Homo-oligomer: A and B are copies of this chain.
Amino acid sequence: MQTVNFGVIGYGYWGPNIVRNLTSIDGSRVAAIAEISAASRQRAQHAHPSIEVTADAMELIRRTDIDAIAVVSPVWTHYELARAALLNGKHVFVEKPLTSNVAQGEELVELARKKNLRIMVDHTFLFTGAVRKIRQMVDEGALGKLYYYDSTRVNLGLFQHDVNVLWDLAPHDLSIMDYIIRTSPEAVVATGQSHFSGLEDVAYMTIYFPENAIAHINVNWLSPVKVRTTLIGGEKRMLVWNDLEADEKLKVYDKGVQINNSEGVYDLLVHYRSGDMWSPHLEQVEALRLELSYFLECIVSGEDAFNDGCAGLRVVRMLEAASESMSKRGSLVYL
């Protein structure tokens, strides 16, 4: 297999992980890193003496020996950088969320299609053992018809400068939800509040799905404790995913409810079923490594990833709708 040459734009919080993985995976190489901050450039050069480090992102994008660009810079720069990369014939790996709005995302998806290039959005969680196991269980019908998806993702900080807490944290949940729930969401309601800079630091989002399925996401930069918990309720089984557990991240409950509503509301016969709990052993691979390996495969095979530009666009579509709803204090926005 031919080596894919990467240019990595951005060496802040997440960029070092991208570079570390791309330099150690067979089949990829980092040719150059572009980073606007002098201090971060110095960190990059010290950690990777053999990689060229520059301040100029366009320099990477124009280099003919580079096959793919990883965009790991602030959200508001994604569109411009990814677009330039595609126009220069590069495959693109973009940090989540794909773009700042739907129009930008649509343009990128269309451009990649025309140029027959791959876009992958970094929805890292889809490559964790926990999410892969949940998807497998849903696919096998182990949970039955899905009733709800309810996620809480809160902690103290890190405040972002350019996006609110919804655009910062909810892409994780929305991409996972998009991966697990196989029907298209219908509408969104979001509420929230900002307490400092004008950007919301606390936000709540409800997503309506067909057939009475509902999803809810609670994100918060002002929580004294870190919480990463998702509850999924199905007709047959229910599960709790606590990503902060070292082991036993996933607990599957053989619990359920059955209601026989034969003769009107006052004759409801509710049966609760309460069986064993089961915590499947999860693979311990680094999700980002798996994702980047998959990106290489997609580049080589020419096939689109399941977390391609369209997947990224679906997430941006929900975020844009949520922003609109939140700005109107919770009005329903159809997707």
Q: Count residues of A near B (Cβ-Cβ below 8 Å).
A: 73
Chain B residues in 8 Å Cβ range of A233: 202, 220, 222-224
The residue that A191 contacts in the complex, of B206, B259, B261, with Cβ under 8 A, is B206
A329 with B257: in contact, given A150-B220, A161-B266, A193-B148 (CB under 8 Å)?
no
Say whether B329 contacts A187, CB under 8 Å.
yes
Say whether B222 contacts A147, CB under 8 Å.
yes
Q: Which of A27-35, A37-45, A102-110, A208-216 contacts B (4 or more CB under 8 A)?
A: A208-216
A156 with B272: in contact, given A240-B224, A277-B279, A278-B277 (CB under 8 Å)?
yes
* Complexed CA–CA distance, A221 and B147 (Å): 11
Whether A132 is near chain B, meaning CB under 8 Å from some CB there, is no
Say whether B157 contacts A257, CB under 8 Å.
yes
Chain B residues in 8 Å Cβ range of A261: 196-197
Residues 89-129 (chain A) with a chain B CB within 8 angstroms = none
* Complexed CA–CA distance, A225 and B242 (Å): 12
Whether A179 is near chain B, meaning CB under 8 Å from some CB there, is no
Q: Which residues in A have some Cβ–Cβ distance to B below 8 Å?
A: 147-148, 150, 152, 154, 156-159, 161-162, 187, 189, 191-199, 202, 204, 206, 208, 212-214, 216, 218, 220-226, 231, 233, 238-240, 244, 246-248, 251, 253-255, 257, 259, 261, 265-266, 268, 270, 272, 274-281, 325, 328-332
